[in-house]
Amino acid sequence: MEKVNLSELVRQGMKKTSTKAQMEAMDLLEAKEFAFDQKEIELQQIKGQLESKITQLAKNELLLDNAKLEATKQKEFFQKEIEKFADLQNAYEVLEKKVKTAYTSKDLSAYLNQVIKEFNESSASDSEVATYVINNMDVDLKVRIFGDEKDSLRFCAPNVTESTEDSLSSIKISIQAIPK
């Protein structure tokens, strides 16, 4: 069956009974109806575009939320790494201070030999009757012993907070008088 346009039927019926003014009014009405239909088509197109943009916006929001979540995880990871680094740096500084105040057996022996030599060569200990020299030295050294990167032993005194009367080192010196 053939589709019949309602406005065409009305127009045909109006031609028979209508005046020119009614026909112009009908033409104007049809033009407005056509413009309305065009606007409705445009509106449907805009609605489709808006729905597409809303969908894209929702996708972008989801991507942004995922990126924020990943950034938060990375920030937490890096903060933990910074804390670990700070702890390691503090431990390194403590060890560095220990190494600076640590001595090898050669350092200690050389120092004590130098003290003995300077005392024996000094005239400050001399009197009119005799010259005094160190005859014997007993060292009771209480230290921590640890190895360094060269696989040699190093001595380090205990911390002041850890010191007790029993943990203090002592040096006993025997001085001999040599008559002049």
- The string of pLDDT tens digits covering residues 95-106 is 777 766 777 778
* Range in 42-51, 113-122, 123-132 with the lowest mean pLDDT: 123-132
Q: Which of 8-17, 32-41, 44-53, 55-64 has the lowest mean pLDDT?
A: 8-17
> What order of strands is seen across the sheet that includes strand 144-147?
103-104, 153-156, 144-147
Lowest-confidence pick of 14-18, 71-75, 165-169: 14-18
d(CA 175, CA 180): 16
Helices 20-100/6-17 angle, 10° precision: 150
Which distant-in-sequence residues (6+ apart) come within 8 Å of 179 by Cβ?
129, 130
Considering only CA atoms, which of 159, 150, 145, 155 is closest in space to residue 107? 155
Task: Please report which confidence band the pLDDT of residue 1 belongs to, taking 50, 70 and 90 as the band edges.
Answer: very low
Put simply, whether the predicted model's pTM sits higher than 0.75 gets the answer no
Alpha-carbon span 101 to 99, nearest angstrom? 5
Q: What is the DSSP letter of 175?
A: E
CA distance 149 to 95: 12
Residue 165: is its pLDDT beyond 60?
A: yes
Cβ atoms 132, 120 nearer than 8 A: no
Digit-coded pLDDT (tens) for 57-114:
999 999 999 999 999 999 999 999 999 999 999 998 887 777 667 777 788 888 888 9
DSSP 165: G
Q: Is the pLDDT of residue 16 over 90?
A: no
